[in-house]
Amino acid sequence: MERIYFVEHHGKTILIQDFSNVKSTVEFIELLVESENMVATQPEGSVLALFDATNTRYSSESLSYLKESVKKSDAYMKASSVVGITGMLVYALNSVSKIVNRKYKLAKTREEAMDWLITQ
């Protein structure tokens, strides 16, 4: 199953980063590397990204790598939305947001996230 891919939504290209149901730190990091590589093929400041974290299990190692990954890809991002983050993970997202000085839209569904992204 492909987890990192581009889709068209109302004429705009959106990068889907599907981390839903990922339970392994190794798989999480592998997906981050795949995402970094795909993002790096795009022009700076152009990527609209949706990160789906529904039912994802995090470790301190995966969160640490996530922070580094966000820093690496920041120059390519235009806007980002996140689905599936609740509870304490909202605080982790806020921490990452402050590190790179980028805001993320928390959305309840992928459709809501994509609808917001295309307005950015």
Q: Is the pLDDT of residue 91 over 90?
A: no
- Render pLDDT for 54-70 as a digit per residue (tens, 0 to 9): 998 888 898 889 888 98
- Render pLDDT for 35-56 as a digit per residue (tens, 0 to 9): 999 999 999 999 999 999 999 8
* pTM check: above 0.85: yes
CA distance 8 to 116: 14
Class of domain 4-117 as given by CATH: alpha beta
What are the percentages of helix, strand and coil residues in the chain, rounded to 5?
A: 45, 25, 30
* Domain ranges (residues) in the chain: 4-117
Q: Between 101 and 3, whose confidence is greater?
A: 3
